[in-house]
Amino acid sequence: MAITRFAPSPTGYLHIGGLRTALYSYLWARKTNGEFKLRIEDTDTQRNNESAMKAILDAFDWVGLNYDSEVEYQSKRLEIYQKYIDQLLEEGKAYNCYMSKDELDALRQKQMDNKQTPRYDGTWRPEEGKVLPSIPEDVEPVIRIKSPDDGIITFIDGVKSIMNFDSSEVDDFVISRSNGMPTYNFVVAIDDALMNMTDIIRGDDHLTNTAKQIVIYESLGFNVPKFYHVPMINNPQGKKLSKRDGAMDVMDYKKLGYLPEALLNFLVRLGWSNGDQEIFTMNEMLELFNPENINKSASSYNEEKLLWLNSHYIKNVTNTRLSKELEFFGCHLKGHDKKEMLLDLCKERAQTLVELDEAIKKIVEVPNEYEKKGAKKFVKEQTPKILKYYLNTLEENVGKLNIASDYEVITKPFIEEFGLKFPQLFQPIRLALTGSTQAPSVYDLMAILGFDEVKCRINKALDVNFNK
Ligand code: GLU
């Protein structure tokens, strides 16, 4: 039974890398009948922002990742953190450091000049027999934890296997700022321990933080959970994913017309695989996902694949669901008597809901103008006559015209009788019905619109001789 969490800092929107680790944590918890928690890491009061917090919750809601119990806010847990800071101070495992910002800057500069990695030099670290400097009056202290001064900090990562950090890489880092606010690495470790996390799945940009957090676990005698550090998502050129490549707010994917199941399916495969399977329903993800199989190398964002998955899901979800999703784009199909036919036709070609919406509007809305190039090519002297005869033929059979094949049965003999080629009839009809020659099958279009509307649109086009 795995207890996992997603722990975003509300300093910006939720991007797809974050959603991917949330999904992995969610799957692992649900698969093992464990718990999945959402914790908002909002102790950095200067960088937090309300709308980012809301965007995170909205994104979770949209993709349908449900979490157990209430959302935890670190800002409401400050007393708990203080208790552990006091305990560490009392036990001599942490100490006040009065080094001023100028002194710290000077130290860092000196180390860099000497080609050393900047690290705190232990000036205020109490040691037996060591005389500490006298406490300056004008400096509010920070609190630092005593990190081991020799040996290695080690843990087994579920993705990267054994990880070793020389203790020289982890200095006595700050656990509480001079304003009394505890720092990220401290509160994460406290919360993960107190919330009984068994498995921490997060981006591999946190690897060095993990070494620091292990120092805290060990100082407080907490059990160290299992860690899985997931490699980054890169752009197709192997560089860091930028906003232009797809590192957008998760909710932008909604605005671009992606279905949440397509996005989740895309994300589960970006960093994890099960043979060469590409399509995963949520149930299959739950059945097959295991963090031990997370890829060891970075993955590459592939927009075409996302579009391909999205068109798959657009074709495969129910029409009721599609019409509900389309409402977000201002497309209301509720009262449309041919709703099913319309969706069946348009969803075949749409890669996104935006494209689906456009395709539907192109049929439902009466055209106000006709594509010039198409009209020039396909509307000839005899076109009005052909169309009038054709409308008469349809009218004679109007009682038999319901579905696309009914129109086909009437149209084929008509074409033969008049010795026409299909485009001579069909392209002017497409133009009259939609304003464009790029529309889908004429039989489908006519079946959806119904004879009266077809007649009306054709007559309207004839009235202006397709010239508007
Ligand atoms: N709050 C951290 C962040 O947003 C994540 C912490 C974690 O997963 O440990 O990067």
CATH of the domain at 449: 1.10.10.350
Give the Cα separation of 447 and 51 in Å (integer).
Answer: 47
Q: Which of 9, 200, 209 to mutate to test the pocket of ligand 1 (most atoms within 8 A of CB)?
A: 9
- 348-364: pLDDT as tens digits: 999 999 999 999 999 99
What is the model's pLDDT at position 350? 97
| Domain membership flag for residue 358 | no
Atom in ligand 1 nearest the alpha carbon of residue 203: 8
At which of 210, 230, 250 does a domain end?
A: 230
At which of 230, 257, 283 does a domain end?
A: 230
Quick check: 438 and 427 in contact, CB under 8 A? Answer: no
| Domain membership flag for residue 406 | yes
| Domain membership flag for residue 133 | yes
- 273-308: pLDDT as tens digits: 999 999 999 999 999 999 999 999 999 999 999 999
Q: How far is the CA of 185 from the centre of ligand 1 (A)?
A: 9
What is the model's pLDDT at position 247? 77
The domain tally of the chain equals 2
Q: How many CB atoms lie within 10 A of CB 205?
A: 12
What is the model's pLDDT at position 52? 87
The CA–CA distances, whole Å, from 375 to 24, 33, 367, 391, 423 equal 54, 63, 14, 19, 12
Confidence at 13, pLDDT banded by 50, 70, 90: confident
pTM of the entire predicted model: 0.92
| Domain membership flag for residue 282 | no
Give the Cα separation of 71 and 37 in Å (integer).
Answer: 7
Task: Please indicate whether residue 241, judged by its CB atom, sits closer than 6 Å to ligand 1.
Answer: no
Structural tokens at position 207: 């690897």
| Domain membership flag for residue 178 | yes
Query: 151: domain CATH number?
Result: 3.40.50.620
227-233: average pLDDT:
96
Nearest CA to ligand 1 atom 7: 7
Confidence at 336, pLDDT banded by 50, 70, 90: confident
What is the model's pLDDT at position 219? 98
Residue 101 domain boundaries: 78-230
- 383-392: pLDDT as tens digits: 999 999 999 9
| Domain membership flag for residue 428 | yes
421-440: average pLDDT:
95
Q: How far is the CA of 465 from the centre of ligand 1 (A)?
A: 64
| Domain membership flag for residue 339 | no
Q: How far is the CA of 409 from the centre of ligand 1 (A)?
A: 63
Confidence at 447, pLDDT banded by 50, 70, 90: very high
Atom in ligand 1 nearest the alpha carbon of residue 192: 9
At which of 177, 205, 230 does a domain end?
A: 230
| Domain membership flag for residue 52 | no
